[in-house]
Amino acid sequence: MTNPHRSPWRFAPLLFVFACVIAGIAEQVAGAQAANTPPAARPVLAVTVIQPEPATLPVRIPANGSIAAWQEASIGTEADGLRLTGVAVHVGDRVRRGQVLATFEPSAVATELAHSLAGLAESEAALAEAAANAQRARDLQASGALSAQQIDQYLTAERMARARQEAARATARTQQLRLAQTQVRAPDDGVISARSATIGAVLPTGQELFRLILRGRIEWRAEVAAPQLARLAPGQPATVTPVGGEAIRGTVRMLAPAVDTQTRKGVVYVDLPAGTTARAGMFARGEIEVGQGTPALTLPQAAVLQREGFDYVLRVGPDARVLQTKVKLGRRAGDRVEILAGVDAASQVVASGGVFLGDGDLVKVVAP
């Protein structure tokens, strides 16, 4: 007879198989969920953040213009028809006042000078003889040994001999001057800016040989709109930046007395210091300081990006994501730029390295 009360352990193998199947299904479901879950976002870049800072910036007027020589002298020949035998300087050389720049063949002038000096000596001898005869005539005038006509002849001969001596002396001085002119000398200190002298050329009087920038001084000739000229005055500081060069500090020397009727702009002459990289003929941009500083909100230039023709900064939001924000720029002072609109003093802005970031990127903020 069969026992109705069977042992429960007889179902244990079935229960074990069922539990294994359930565990396998659960593991597959968990793996599928893990595969569908996106990985945690990682920061693109570690950055430091800064806030716009208040600063006092000067009021400046921007301008463009060319750099030119303060004064340029034309050095030519005064010796007519002589052959050029030597040139002592080249373009770019610095020269001193009185320095010999070029030399002409002096032999012809030296011969004429010797002839003039001989004529001068002859006229001096003739004058001495005439003066002695005139003095004897004066001594005998009271005795009546000579007639009045003879006395007048001796006195007239003395005056003519003296005049001939003066003429001979003037001729000798002229030849001495011509001999000195065979050496072309610098009229002042400066820099040779052009040279047209060629050895062996026979040149007429007045032919230009060199051009000289007097004292090596150069200036920036800035073109400023007429309404802004009233704010300018001699002595104001200016910052000039030649194309491809570094900024140079200068000083306003004078303002042109007239405004161009076509462009309605006036020229402002700004003296530049010697020894800079600026050269005459360069184009330059600059700013002239015309007033005391005024408060402004500024950021470093490195924090401002230019994209698609606009200016942007990268703000960092509370979620550490970058927000590309368009800003309006104003004045510049050194490496800082004025922010007129777009961010306020509480904004957190990426200090540098923004070129590697895009709008919405996750960043890691680190201490500066």
How many CA atoms, within 13 angstroms, populate the side-chain half-sphere of residue 104?
Answer: 27
Does residue 38 carry a pLDDT above 70? no
What is the maximum alpha-carbon separation in the chain?
A: 209
Does residue 1 carry a pLDDT above 50? no
Integer Cα distance of 158 and 133 in angstroms = 8
Encoded amino acid at 81, one letter? G
- Each residue of 284-343: pLDDT tens digit? 999 998 877 678 888 888 888 888 888 888 888 888 888 888 888 887 777 788 888 888
Q: Which domains does the chain have, with CATH numbers?
A: 47-57+295-365 (2.40.420.20), 61-70+216-292 (2.40.30.170), 71-105+187-215 (2.40.50.100), 106-181 (1.10.287)
- Ramachandran class of 296: left when φ > 0, alpha when ψ lies in -120 to 50, beta otherwise: beta
- Each residue of 56-75: pLDDT tens digit? 777 888 899 999 999 999 99
Query: Strand, helix or coil at 325?
Result: strand
When mean pLDDT is compared across 6-15, 56-65, 105-114, 206-215, the lowest value belongs to 6-15
Question: DSSP assignment of 88-115, as one string?
Answer: ---TT-EE-TT-EEEEE--HHHHHHHHH
